[in-house]
Amino acid sequence: MHEVHRVSTPLELFFDLCFVVAVSQAAAQLHHALGGDHAGLGVLHYAMIFFAIWWAWMNFSWFASAYDTDDGVYRVTTLVQITGVLILAAGVPRAFDGDWRIVIAGYVVMRLALVSQWLRAAKADPERRRTALRYAGGITVLQVCWICLPLLPVWFFLVFAILEMAVPVWAERAALTTWHPHHITERYSLFTLIVLGESVLAATTATQAALDSGTDLPELIALAASGLVIVFGMWWLYFDRPAQYLLTSLRTSIAWGYSHYVVFASAAAVGAGLEEAVAAHDHIGWAVAAPVAVYVLSVWALQVRPRKEHLCDAAHLVAVVLILLTPLTPWSVPATAAVVAVLTVISVVLGQRSILERPERSAL
C-alpha cells in the first residue's frame, strides 16, 4: 500500500484491452437500440450488461493492487478471466434480445476465476485470511444466484447486483487488504481513457459511413468536430486534477470506486449517441446530451466536489442543466460541444487561480 512506484503491469494493460471488446459490443448494441423503437429497453439492457463488465473489471483491479504475485498461476488465472469477458462480449447481442445465458456464462467464468485467486490469497496471507475467505465465499454464493437469473423476474438483477456490491464492504471489515491508492487511481484513469477511446472510434466509424453514403458535408463536418470537442472536453474534465488524495479511507474509496460505474457507462454511451446523431443527422440530440450530462455530473461528484471550490461546483452544475437543454435547440450536438468547451476553459482558469491562491491560504 505504501509502495512508491506501483504502476500498472503489462498483464493489467492486456486485461483492460480485452475488456474494451465487451464495452465496444455493449455500446454498438446501444447504438442500434437508440435508432429503433425500444430505446428504453435498450438503455436498460446496456446498464445491466455494463454492470457485469465494470464489476468484474473493478474486482480484479482491486485484487491485483493488493495481491499481484505475477507468477504462472496468477497469469493463467487472469487469462481465464479474460476468456470470460470475451465469452460475455460474444453474448451481448443475444442479451439485447433477451437471451442472457451467454453473458451470464462469461460473467461466472470471470468471477469463479477470481474466487481461486482469493483462495490463494487466504493461504498466503494469514493476517487477512478471513477477509479473503469472505470474498471467496460471497462471490461463489452469488454465482449460483446469477445462474438462476434467467428463471427469475428481471428485478432480481438489481437484488443480486446490490448483494455483489455488499461483498467487499462485508469482507474488508475483517481486515483491510493492502491496495495501493496511486495504483488504483491509475487503473481507473486507464480504463477511462479506454472508454473515451471507444467513443472516438465509434464517432469516427459513423463519420466514415456517413461520408460513404453521401451525407451533406458541412453538416457532417459540424457533427464530427462537435463530437471531438465533446470527447476532448470529457478527457480534460476527468484528468484536470490528480485523484489519489481522495482515497483516504475504506468508505471514501468504496464510494469513489463504485461511482465510477456511472463515469464509465456514460462515457461509452456517448460514443453510441454520437453514432446515432451522425446517422440521424442530429435529430435525436438527447442521445448525446443525456450521457454527456451524466458524465459531467458524475465527474463533478467524484473529482470536483471534494475540493470544495464553490465557483467550480457551480460551473459544473450549470453546465449539466445547459447540456440537458441542448436537445431543444436546432443544433443540439454542437451546442453540447460548446457547453463542454466553455466548462473546460472555466475549470482550467479556476484551477490555475486555486493553485496561485493556495500559498496565501496556507499563510493564513
Residues 25 and 163 in one domain: yes
- Among 172, 196, 219, which residue terminates a domain? 172
Predicted structure pTM score: 0.89
Q: Is 205 a domain residue?
A: yes
Shared domain check, 124 and 50: yes
Gap between the Cα atoms of 13 and 134, Å rounded = 28
Mean pLDDT, range 165-190, rounded to an integer:
90
Q: Are residues 142 and 220 in the same domain?
A: no
Report d(CA 124, CA 75) in Å as an integer.
Answer: 17
Check residue 356 and give its pLDDT. 56
168 and 185 inside one domain: no
Model pLDDT, residue 115: 96
**CB within 8 A of 137, min separation 6: which ones?**
none
> Is the pLDDT score of 193 beyond 70?
yes
Confidence class for position 248, pLDDT limits 50, 70, 90 = confident
Q: What percent of the chain stands above pLDDT 70?
A: 91
Find the DSSP H helices in the chain: 10-34, 39-67, 72-96, 101-124, 129-148, 156-172, 181-212, 217-238, 250-279, 286-299, 310-325, 332-363
pLDDT tens, position by position, 228-237:
899 999 999 9
Q: Taking each helix axis from N to C terminus, what angle separates 39-67 and 72-96, rounded to the nearest 10 degrees? A: 170
Please report whether residue 341 resides in a domain: yes
Q: Do 95 and 46 share a domain, yes or no?
A: yes
48 confidence band (pLDDT: 50, 70, 90): very high
Domain span at 48: 10-172
Domain boundary residue, one of 135, 154, 172: 172
Asked if residue 354 has pLDDT above 80, the reply is: no
Q: Are residues 207 and 345 in the same domain?
A: yes
CATH of the domain at 255: 1.20.1410
What was the pLDDT predicted at 269? Answer: 93
Which pLDDT belongs to residue 216? 66
Quick check: is 2 in a domain?
Answer: no
Q: Which residue has the higher pLDDT, 224 or 267?
A: 267
Rounded percentage of the chain residues whose pLDDT exceeds 90: 57
* Residue 191 pLDDT > 80: yes
What confidence tens digit (pLDDT) does each residue in 119-134 have? 999 999 999 999 999 9
Residues 18 and 112 reside in one and the same domain: yes
Query: What pLDDT was estimated at residue 281?
Result: 59
The per-residue pLDDT for 263 is 95
Residues 192 and 288 in one domain: yes
Q: Please report whether residue 1 resides in a domain.
A: no
State pLDDT tens for residues 290-317: 999 999 999 999 988 887 888 889 999 9
Please check whether residue 245 lies inside any domain of the structure. Answer: yes
Confidence at residue 344, expressed as pLDDT on a 0 to 100 scale: 95
Other CB atoms within 10 Å distance of the CB of residue 361: 8
285 CB-near residues (< 8 Å, 6+ apart): 277, 326, 327, 329, 332, 333, 335, 336
Model pLDDT for residues 331-343, shown as the tens digit of each residue: 899 999 999 999 9
User: Could you tell me if 326 and 356 lie in one domain?
Assistant: yes
For residues 81 and 99, state if they share a domain.
yes
Look-up of cell digits 438462476: 148
Q: Is the pLDDT of residue 212 over 90?
A: no
- Would residue 5 count as lying in a domain? no
On whether residue 4 sits in a domain, the answer given is: no
Number of structural domains (the chain) is 2
Query: What is the pLDDT, as a whole number, of residue 340?
Result: 96
Claim to verify: residue 92 and residue 196 sit in the same structural domain: no
- When pLDDT is cut at 50, 70 and 90, the band that residue 2 belongs to is very low
Cα separation, 267 vs 292, in Å, equals 7
What's residue 362's pLDDT? 37
Q: Are residues 155 and 194 in the same domain?
A: no
Name the band, by pLDDT with cuts 50, 70 and 90, for residue 283. Answer: low
Report yes or no on 3 lying in a domain: no
> In this predicted model, what pLDDT tens digit does every residue of 99-109 receive, in sequence order?
999 999 999 99
pLDDT (mean) for 175-184: 86
User: 125, 146, 172 — which closes off a domain?
Assistant: 172
Does residue 92 contact residue 103 with C-beta atoms inside 8 Å? yes
Residue 361 pLDDT more than 50? Answer: no
For the segment 9-29, the average pLDDT, to the nearest whole number, is 90
Instruction: Report pLDDT for 129.
Output: 95
